Structure 1
């Protein structure tokens, strides 16, 4: 599968993810699975079996690390700071961009989320410590930006 085709399919899945997460506050398991499976398909079509196994391993490690971070945050604060769908999305993103790409995914996601919060604040919306904002669309943007940078080096 060529990189432009896989990018187009990933964009479509990320757009669906953003739409669902903004409207309902959840990221469906089938959508995270589709993103992971598409990434695995891309790797198997362009690489060898070892690369696919390595990518799945990286995705699992990333998912477990963020699941542990989620649990740790909950034990300290008593509230969930990161949804389980976000954790699964980060695991699926790991298949696409690897462990080395996750910091950039998070950087883009947090910067775009902060920009969005800034726009909401400037528009007069009251934001408090209890204000909830779906993070999935920002993670999807981070995944897309990181994948494009890795593939095309812009």
Structure 2
């Protein structure tokens, strides 16, 4: 086993107010179909084109948790190798709100702002937690999902 005490801390380099924006990702028909299969959520909102044509949405919408899941993937892809290695755990999510529907064909991105950093004690597997305000936006710059995400980092 190697001694990790000399490794640089990504956590130490993060400051409240730091911001970041991911690349975009288009939500596809395959995404919605696959997510329904994996999650077991076959709600008509996501799967019944005929029924949704006469709904207030006018068409099927993506699962909210699909959008959140895709956003976590965008965040992961946006990180450097060093930042990826520093992630100990996804610590939690607070104040999750689905603000606008996401339609098949919409392109989402994530805008992050560091809200708070907290050092952890010696018994923790990480150096501290970072809480981010995450806003998932569509191609029209509308916030479709917002939440606070917390990660435990080395």
* TM-score, normalisation: structure 2: 0.28
Look at both structures and tell me which one has the larger radius of gyration over its CA atoms: 2
Structure with the higher strand share, 1 or 2: 2
* TM-score, normalisation: structure 1: 0.28
